[in-house]
Amino acid sequence: MRWQSDPLLHVEHLTMRFGGILAVNDLSFTAGRGDITALIGPNGAGKTTVFNCITGFYKPTQGRIAFARDGRADETDVAALTQTARRHARMASGDIYLLERMPDFEISGKAKVARTFQNIRLFQGMTVLENLIVAQHNPLMQASGWTVLGLLGVGPYRARERDAIEKAKFWLNKINLLERADDAAGDLPYGDQRRLEIARAMCMDPVLLCLDEPAAGLNPRETGDLNTLLCMLRDEQNTSLLLIEHDMNVVMQISDHVVVLDYGTKIADGAPAAIRSDPRVIAAYLGVADEDEAQAVAGERAGERT
């Protein structure tokens, strides 16, 4: 159980309110390093809200989100860091970040937590290659001497840009889009856009990648390809994945750990096999509202395609 023995993300007592709506209610879970952790639950359960809290797009009403970028975060170290006003510390047990204190761009840039979005957010008017280069903004910015040296044409920028192109080519190869590198991202078919968004996030060399419904709107063949890609990210790139997914087949096939949300509250947490037979999960997610849920999912996908 890596999420117990070697966790990299600790979500503790996370609560998020929007006015009267309690979107996430006292949620605690851990995600294991090198695991694919699935976050599942019916529509409106609060999954995307959890992502937005982890990646800094929302400031949680309450709770702590500790992230051990490398090494392991000792209970005592995290507690010590929480006492201070700081966001980040290099402790004996490794780099620890308190994500709820950090702005979104630092979570992605410094803590190396990347994400994709439920409704794809590519730079539509930029080419596929440009999308992947923009994802390498921070190292390139540094190489260009914060623009000054780059403007004068001196410094290592040229070489670093070539490296960035190589990395982009590597990822384009992985997602079979090398041929379309010079096309506008908005011109790609839907399935390719989904994979491109994942590749763009991977160009940041993330330690944890959060994927919000990556299989939504994909056909069965594309879903199969996606599974292969995600397993590759885990096994070859050593990236830990946090995955929101509706498709139970995908969840059961590739995830190592499943957290189930219902109305913002965690109702189950464990290995896929245990989740499948959990009566509360069946009642909330698979059983009672099965018919409605299936229709809602189908409707949502149809909406997203247009």
Partner 1 sequence: MPAGHDTATSPATQRLNNALREAGLAALISAGLSFPILALGAEPDINNQLALQTRWSWMFAAIIIIACARFFAVMLDGWRARTLAMAGLLCAAFGFGTWYFAGIAEPKIVGGTIVAGLIAMLAAFPIDTSESRASIAAKAPARPATILSSTATSLIATAGIGALIAFPLAMLWWFGSAGSLKWINNYGIQILIFVMLGWGLNIVVGLAGLLDLGYVAFYAVGAYAYALLATQFDLSFWICLPLAGIMAAFWGILLGFPVLRLRGDYLALVTLAFGEIIHLVLTNWSDLTNGEAGILSIPRVTFFGVPFTAGEGGFAHLFGLEFSPIHRTIFLFYLILALALITNFATLRLRRLPIGRAWEALREDEIACRSLGINTTNTKLTAFALGAMFGGFAGSFFAVRQGFINPNSFTFMESAWILAIVVLGGMGSQIGVALAAIVMVGGTEALRELDFLKQLFGQDFNPVQYRMLIFGLAMVVMMIWRPRGFVSTRTPSIFLKERKAVAADLVGEGYG
Ligand X SMILES: Nc1ncnc2c1ncn2[C@@H]1O[C@H](COP(=O)(O)OP(=O)(O)O)[C@@H](O)[C@H]1O
The C-alpha atoms of residue 8 and residue 256 are separated, in whole angstroms, by 14
Q: Taking the CB of residue 278, how many other CB atoms lie within 10 A of it?
A: 19
Contacts with Mg ion by CB under 5 A lie at 48, 118
Show the tokens assigned to 283: 């009642």
Look at residue 186 and give the partner it binds from Mg ion, ligand X, partner 1, none, a contact being a CB closer than 5 to 8 Å depending on partner kind: partner 1
Give 172 or 216: the residue with its C-beta nearer to Mg ion. Answer: 216
Whether residue 304 contacts residue 121, with contact meaning beta carbons closer than 8 Å, is answered with no
Q: Which letter, b or e, does each residue of 16-39 get, where b requires 16 or more Cβ atoms within 10 Å of its Cβ?
A: beeeeebbbbebebbbbbebbbbb
- What is the chain's percent helix, strand, coil content, to nearest 5? 45, 25, 30
Instruction: Please report whether residue 165 would count as binding partner 1 according to CB under 8 A.
Output: yes
Instruction: Please report whether residue 21 would count as binding ligand X according to CB under 6 A.
Output: yes
Give 82 or 118: the residue with its C-beta nearer to Mg ion. Answer: 118
Instruction: Please report whether residue 242 would count as binding ligand X according to CB under 6 A.
Output: no
Each residue 187-226 as x (binds partner 1 by CB under 8 A) or -, in order, gives x------------xx--x----------------------
Among 25, 48, 55, 240, binds ligand X (CB under 6 A): 48
Q: How far is the CB of 146 from partner 1 (least distance, A)?
A: 8
How far is Cα of residue 285 from the mean position of the Cα atoms in its chain? 22
Instruction: Please report whether residue 254 would count as binding partner 1 according to CB under 8 A.
Output: no
| 88-91, strands of its sheet edge to edge | 21-32, 7-18, 62-68, 94-98, 88-91
Give 157 or 285: the residue with its C-beta nearer to ligand X. Answer: 285
Give 125 or 303: the residue with its C-beta nearer to Mg ion. Answer: 303
Q: How far is the CB of 24 from ligand X (least distance, A)?
A: 8
The C-alpha atoms of residue 106 and residue 108 are separated, in whole angstroms, by 5
206: Cβ–Cβ under 8 A, 6 or more apart, which residues? 108, 112, 113, 114, 239
Give 134 or 231: the residue with its C-beta nearer to partner 1. Answer: 134
Q: How far is the CB of 47 from ligand X (least distance, A)?
A: 3
**Strand 113-115 vs strand 208-212: parallel, antiparallel, or unpaired?**
parallel
The C-alpha atoms of residue 10 and residue 7 are separated, in whole angstroms, by 7
Instruction: Please report whether residue 114 would count as binding partner 1 according to CB under 8 A.
Output: yes
Map residue 291 onto helix, strand or coil. Answer: helix
Look at residue 183 and give the partner it binds from partner 1, ligand X, Mg ion, none, a contact being a CB closer than 5 to 8 Å depending on partner kind: partner 1
Query: Segment near ligand X (CB under 6 A), from 2-10, 15-23, 125-133, 177-185?
Result: 15-23
Residues lying near partner 1 in the complex (CB under 8 A) are found at 55-57, 104-106, 108-110, 114-115, 117, 121-127, 129-130, 133-135, 137-138, 140-141, 144, 147, 150-151, 153, 157, 161, 165, 169, 178, 181-184, 186-187, 200-201, 204
